[in-house]
């Protein structure tokens, strides 16, 4: 109501009150006792009815207060002693009326405000719920006292993939049950049904469902509702689709236990499986540790993408080799492990053979045919080990043996492998100290130039005199030195020593130094060669560096740059052991070698082995056409010499002419040959005559 109208109304009410108040004042002075009582009675009635009828508290007072005052005044104006008593009674009566009016008015106000607030809250909640149902991915559900769905929202219809008629009035549990895979969700549905029967609250109950062919996960939360008298009225709840969260959880769990490239279990998962196998019933089981051979070559030559494709294919083949109860995992790189459950040595043996045959079958990567091999180390539990670490260590030792025995094969762990591994570690420790203990020396093996009848080159061959083991062959320590990186320091010593020695030889004799591929990874190689030449005063033309094809397998641009830089200084290069490695002509084209050394395995029995002869002939022909000198290594017999000579190979190294000679013997040998000339048939006797010191 506008303020003005409100005021006018109060004014009217006030005037009415004043008019009514005149009634007792005018009538009382002339009234007898009965009439006075009537006046008091009517006035009291007026006071009581005004507070009931008046629309507001103020209006009630505007009528009743003047009437009360008028009545009191009138009573005091009356003659006789009853007037003041009646006036007092009117005061008491009016006060009681006013107090009760004030009280009921206050309760009325409170009730009205409460009702208004409740309405407002209802409106807000309704608004929020509507918005929740429209905007959120969650949905509200509501059931009646018999747990049948009511209040079907749009969102709910959508998530159930149904129409409203399919949902309304349907039993909530049966509806959920219909959408679940009974085996997978039995426990969840049972818990839901139990909670509903017991009228318990439940929160985030996880239920797997299949809706219109899509697998999903819901969280269902519900709260029973009761009326004031405790009567159950049904459930109110919310459902959320947590499929995305569940999937990412599953993905994270999968990633933590699987190799991302091949999808196989990873090292972590394998260790867990192995620990479980040890903890389980004591059936024998085997660990096969497979390491790919030549994988690095594929990776280096065809690139990492091709390497990855190859690893995926290997993983598939490995899985195809084992049965469903066995576990294939990738440890990383080109290493795979297989846990063969309930297996004895025989079945591990059979499986290893099958794996080697399968993995060694050719692959087609990027349209190219690629061949790799695999070596396997096997350790069997509980015979070989009582714990997973030990089983791993033993399989590793067996793998090392398989690799040393020529790769492409498998070996079972044997107790003495441990002893050998310790020996290897001891050898490694001694090798580290060998340089400072001055345990190395060089021997020099002449390479005779038949056409000029002189020693054109002498190859420096490293020897290690161990304090306890005596003379250790380079075949048993060069690889160890390469694996530990010690070859870089040792190789530097060899280059410097070889140059110093060769500087004392007749000027026509070069010195050949073997270089390991590992030395090329060290960027200081060319500066080492430079300083070795300048310190010794040996002209670069008299230094030949022998490298094998394996240098190119690891090669990046840096390696080729080093090779070219050294060659530009006048140092020449020989490709050693040609024919044993990859014998790829591309290596010969990518770098201009000065010499090619035919490996001794092709020289052996060349007179009787047609295939060896054919290889030597091919290498000689190719080298001659590329303008390279051909050197035959390991020539031991006169017969071999004759055939090689006939094939046009005029540079000969081998026991036929000389075994490797000590540093003090090589100079006199070179001079002796230069002075007297040499012929194959005379070689042995010449050497004996000279009584030269050989190894």
Q: Residues in the site for ligand C2E, rule: CB under 6 A?
A: 445, 461-462, 473-475, 478, 491, 494, 514-516, 546, 576-577, 600, 633-636, 653-655, 660
Decide if 216 contacts 241 (C-beta within 8 A).
Answer: yes
Is the CA virtual torsion 488, 490, 493, 495 positive or negative?
negative
| Minimum separation from the CB atom of position 461 to ligand C2E (A) | 4
Q: Could you tell me whether strands 373-381 and 285-293 are parallel, antiparallel, or unpaired per DSSP bridges?
A: antiparallel
| Minimum separation from the CB atom of position 591 to ligand C2E (A) | 18
Strands (E) located in 469-579: 470-472, 510-514, 543-547, 572-578
Cα dihedral 260, 262, 267, 268, rounded to 10, equals 50
43/171 Cα distance (integer angstroms): 68
523/528 Cα distance (integer angstroms): 10
What residue 445 binds from ligand C2E, Mg ion, none (CB within 5 to 8 A, per partner kind)? ligand C2E
DSSP state at residue 442:
E
Q: Which of 409, 375, 407, 381 is nearest to 394 (CA)?
A: 381
Decide if 392 contacts 377 (C-beta within 8 A).
Answer: no
577/541 Cα distance (integer angstroms): 22
Question: Residue 389 CB: number of other CB atoms within 10 A?
Answer: 12
DSSP state at residue 591:
S
What residue 462 binds from ligand C2E, Mg ion, none (CB within 5 to 8 A, per partner kind)? ligand C2E
Q: Which is nearer to Mg ion, 69 or 518 (CB)?
A: 518
What are the tokens at 360?
């060694």
| Minimum separation from the CB atom of position 665 to Mg ion (A) | 19
What residue 494 binds from Mg ion, ligand C2E, none (CB within 5 to 8 A, per partner kind)? ligand C2E
| Minimum separation from the CB atom of position 597 to ligand C2E (A) | 7
Q: Which is nearer to ligand C2E, 152 or 538 (CB)?
A: 538
What residue 67 binds from ligand C2E, Mg ion, none (CB within 5 to 8 A, per partner kind)? none
| Minimum separation from the CB atom of position 546 to Mg ion (A) | 4
340/332 Cα distance (integer angstroms): 19
| Minimum separation from the CB atom of position 351 to Mg ion (A) | 38
| Minimum separation from the CB atom of position 447 to Mg ion (A) | 10
Q: Which is nearer to ligand C2E, 9 or 466 (CB)?
A: 466
378/413 Cα distance (integer angstroms): 6
Q: Which is nearer to Mg ion, 14 or 474 (CB)?
A: 474
| Minimum separation from the CB atom of position 547 to Mg ion (A) | 9
Decide if 378 contacts 291 (C-beta within 8 A).
Answer: no
37/45 Cα distance (integer angstroms): 12
Q: Which is nearer to Mg ion, 484 or 580 (CB)?
A: 580
Q: Which is nearer to ligand C2E, 178 or 479 (CB)?
A: 479
Q: Which is nearer to ligand C2E, 173 or 515 (CB)?
A: 515
Decide if 211 contacts 241 (C-beta within 8 A).
Answer: no
| Minimum separation from the CB atom of position 551 to ligand C2E (A) | 11
| Minimum separation from the CB atom of position 514 to Mg ion (A) | 4
What residue 539 binds from Mg ion, ligand C2E, none (CB within 5 to 8 A, per partner kind)? none
Q: Which is nearer to Mg ion, 313 or 459 (CB)?
A: 459
Strands (E) located in 117-252: 139-143, 149-150, 202-211, 214-226, 232-241
Q: Which is nearer to Mg ion, 285 or 444 (CB)?
A: 444
Q: Which is nearer to ligand C2E, 380 or 488 (CB)?
A: 488
Question: Residue 322 CB: number of other CB atoms within 10 A?
Answer: 18
Distances (CA, A) of 573 to 211, 592, 603: 73, 8, 21
What residue 516 binds from Mg ion, ligand C2E, none (CB within 5 to 8 A, per partner kind)? ligand C2E
Decide if 526 contacts 566 (C-beta within 8 A).
Answer: yes
What residue 549 binds from Mg ion, ligand C2E, none (CB within 5 to 8 A, per partner kind)? none
Contact residues toward Mg ion (CB under 5 A) are 514, 546, 576-577, 633
What residue 334 binds from ligand C2E, Mg ion, none (CB within 5 to 8 A, per partner kind)? none
What residue 475 binds from ligand C2E, Mg ion, none (CB within 5 to 8 A, per partner kind)? ligand C2E
User: Is it true that the peptide bond before 382 is cis, omega within 30 degrees of 0?
Assistant: yes
What are the tokens at 325?
């109860």
What residue 394 binds from Mg ion, ligand C2E, none (CB within 5 to 8 A, per partner kind)? none
Q: Which is nearer to ligand C2E, 219 or 659 (CB)?
A: 659
221/577 Cα distance (integer angstroms): 76
Q: Which of 78, 79, 17 is nearest to 46 (CA)?
A: 17
Place of tokens 């409106």: 123
Question: Residue 648 CB: number of other CB atoms within 10 A?
Answer: 13
| Minimum separation from the CB atom of position 694 to ligand C2E (A) | 10
Distances (CA, A) of 127 to 130, 203, 436: 5, 24, 88
Q: Which is nearer to ligand C2E, 318 or 478 (CB)?
A: 478
What are the tokens at 54?
């008046």
What are the tokens at 137?
């991915």
| Minimum separation from the CB atom of position 637 to ligand C2E (A) | 9
What residue 70 binds from Mg ion, ligand C2E, none (CB within 5 to 8 A, per partner kind)? none
Q: Which of 270, 296, 450 is nearest to 373 (CA)?
A: 296
403/289 Cα distance (integer angstroms): 12
What residue 473 binds from Mg ion, ligand C2E, none (CB within 5 to 8 A, per partner kind)? ligand C2E
What residue 655 binds from Mg ion, ligand C2E, none (CB within 5 to 8 A, per partner kind)? ligand C2E
What residue 156 binds from ligand C2E, Mg ion, none (CB within 5 to 8 A, per partner kind)? none
| Minimum separation from the CB atom of position 349 to ligand C2E (A) | 34
Q: Which is nearer to ligand C2E, 391 or 635 (CB)?
A: 635
Q: Which is nearer to ligand C2E, 291 or 546 (CB)?
A: 546
Instruction: State residue 515 phi and psi, 5-degree precision.
Output: -115, 140
| Minimum separation from the CB atom of position 596 to ligand C2E (A) | 12
């Amino acid at each position: 109501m506008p303020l003005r109208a409100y005021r006018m109304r109060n004014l009217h009410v006030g005037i009415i009150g004043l008019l009514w108040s005149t009634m007792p004042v005018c009538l009382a002075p002339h009234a007898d006792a009965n009439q006075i009582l009537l006046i008091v009675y009517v006035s009291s009635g007026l006071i009581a009815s005004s507070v009931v009828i008046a629309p507001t508290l103020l209006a009630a007072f505007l009528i009743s207060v003047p009437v009360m005052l008028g009545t009191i005044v009138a009573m005091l104006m009356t003659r006789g002693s009853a007037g003041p008593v009646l006036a007092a009674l009117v005061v008491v009566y009016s006060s009681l009326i006013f107090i009760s009016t004030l009280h009921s008015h206050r309760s009325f106000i409170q009730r009205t405000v409460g009702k208004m607030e409740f309405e407002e809250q209802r409106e807000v909640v309704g608004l929020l719920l509507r918005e929740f149902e429209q905007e959120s991915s969650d949905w509200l559900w509501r059931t009646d006292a018999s747990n049948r769905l009511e209040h079907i929202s749009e969102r709910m219809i959508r998530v159930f993939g149904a129409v409203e008629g399919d949902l309304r009035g349907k039993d909530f549990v049966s509806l959920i049950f219909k959408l679940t895979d009974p085996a997978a969700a039995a426990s969840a549905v049972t818990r839901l049904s139990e909670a509903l029967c017991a009228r318990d609250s439940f929160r985030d109950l996880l239920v797997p469902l299949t809706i219109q062919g899509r697998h999903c996960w819901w969280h269902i939360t519900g709260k029973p509702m009761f009326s004031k008298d405790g009567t159950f009225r049904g459930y109110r709840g919310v459902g959320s689709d947590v499929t995305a969260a569940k999937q990412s959880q599953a993905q994270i769990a999968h990633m933590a236990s699987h190799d991302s490239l091949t999808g196989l279990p990873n090292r972590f998962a394998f260790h867990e499986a192995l620990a479980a196998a040890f903890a389980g019933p004591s059936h024998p089981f085997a660990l096969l540790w497979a390491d790919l051979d030549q994988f690095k070559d594929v990776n280096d030559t065809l690139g990492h993408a091709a390497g990855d494709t190859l690893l995926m294919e290997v993983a598939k083949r490995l899985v195809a080799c084992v049965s469903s109860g066995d576990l294939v995992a990738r440890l990383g790189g080109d290493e795979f492990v297989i846990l063969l459950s309930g297996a004895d040595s025989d079945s591990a043996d059979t499986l290893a053979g099958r794996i080697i045959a399968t993995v060694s079958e050719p692959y087609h990567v990027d349209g190219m045919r690629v061949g790799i091999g695999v070596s396997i180390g096997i350790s069997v539990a509980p015979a070989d080990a009582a714990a997973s670490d030990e089983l791993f260590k033993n399989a590793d030792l067996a793998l090392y043996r398989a690799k040393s025995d020529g790769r492409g094969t498998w070996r079972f762990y044997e107790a003495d492998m441990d002893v050998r591994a310790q020996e290897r570690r001891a050898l490694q420790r001694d090798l580290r100290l060998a340089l400072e203990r001055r345990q190395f020396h060089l021997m020099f093996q002449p390479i005779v130039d038949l056409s000029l009848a002189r020693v054109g080159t002498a190859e420096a061959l490293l020897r290690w005199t161990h304090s306890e083991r005596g003379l250790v062959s380079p075949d048993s320590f060069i690889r160890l030195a390469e694996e530990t990186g010690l070859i870089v320091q040792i190789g530097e010593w060899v280059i410097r020593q070889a140059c110093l020695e060769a500087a004392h030889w007749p000027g026509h004799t070069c010195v050949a130094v073997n270089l390991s591929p590992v030395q090329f990874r060290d960027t200081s190689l060319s500066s080492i060669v430079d300083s070795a030449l300048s310190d010794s005063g040996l002209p670069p033309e008299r230094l030949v560096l022998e490298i094998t094809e394996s240098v190119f397998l690891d090669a990046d641009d840096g390696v080729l740059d080093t090779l070219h830089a050294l060659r530009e200084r006048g140092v020449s290069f020989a490709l050693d052991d040609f024919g044993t490695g990859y014998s790829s002509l591309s290596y010969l084209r990518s770098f201009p070698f000065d010499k090619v050394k035919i490996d001794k395995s092709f020289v052996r029995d060349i007179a009787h082995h047609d295939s060896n002869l054919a290889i030597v002939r091919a290498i000689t022909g190719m080298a001659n056409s590329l303008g390279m000198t051909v050197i035959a290594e390991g020539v031991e017999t006169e017969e071999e010499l004759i055939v090689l000579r006939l094939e046009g190979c005029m540079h000969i190294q081998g026991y036929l002419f000389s075994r490797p000679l000590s540093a003090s013997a090589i100079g006199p040998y070179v001079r002796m040959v230069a002075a007297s000339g040499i012929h194959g048939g005379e070689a042995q006797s010449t050497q004996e005559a000279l009584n030269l010191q050989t190894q």
